[in-house]
Amino acid sequence: MGLASEMEIKNIYLALDEVLNNAIMDGSLEVDSSLRDEEGGNRKFEEVIAQRENEPKYADRRIEIQADYTEKRAVFKITDPGRGFDYNALPDPTSPENLLREHGRGLLLVQCFMDEIKFNKPGNEVTLVKNRQI
């Protein structure tokens, strides 16, 4: 539809990948990414994911994805079954104490790649908008 260049399409894919991973890990599986900050955190994080992927309480949950494309813009809405989060309370990923953390920069990338990012009040739904670049 001529909405975006090839590079912009790759950036849209990266933004969607980040949001979908967050919806799966944080929303559906309820695995807190702060586990990665602990000693041996990556291993523990992966173990919890593997465990929950096999528990019906978590594994049977579904993520809803809606996409609306026109020649002027694309709108993606991703909703997960989780409790949500307070977007405004996220730590600044560019502050020195957060630069070496294993997580916390994904939404910053999403903001860079998309023209708009909106969250619903509970924080379990995100809407991404990419406008046609003239």
- Among the listed residues 83, 77, 93, 79, the one whose alpha carbon sits nearest the alpha carbon of residue 31: 83
Is 55 a domain residue? yes
Domains identified in the chain, total number: 1
- Among the listed residues 21, 20, 45, the one whose alpha carbon sits nearest the alpha carbon of residue 31: 45
CA 95/CA 125 separation, integer angstroms: 26
Cβ-based neighbours of 2, under 8 Å, separated by 6 or more: 71, 132
Per-residue pLDDT of the chain (134 residues; tens, 9 = 90+): 788 899 999 999 999 999 999 999 999 999 987 777 777 778 888 999 999 999 999 989 999 999 999 999 999 999 999 998 887 777 676 777 765 665 566 788 899 899 999 999 999 999 999 999 86
CA 36/CA 81 separation, integer angstroms: 23
Question: What does pTM read for this prediction?
Answer: 0.85
At residue 114, the pLDDT reads 96
Is 120 a domain residue? yes
- What is the enclosing helix (H) or strand (E) of 44? helix 41-53
Is 1 a domain residue? no
The CATH number covering residue 59 comes to 3.30.565.10
At residue 102, the pLDDT reads 56
CA 16/CA 18 separation, integer angstroms: 5
Domain extent at residue 121: 6-131
Kindly write down the DSSP assignment for every residue of 84-98, as one continuous string: ---GGGS--TTSGGG
The strands making up 116-119's β-sheet, listed across from edge to edge, are 64-69, 73-79, 125-131, 116-119
Is 14 a domain residue? yes
Is 21 a domain residue? yes
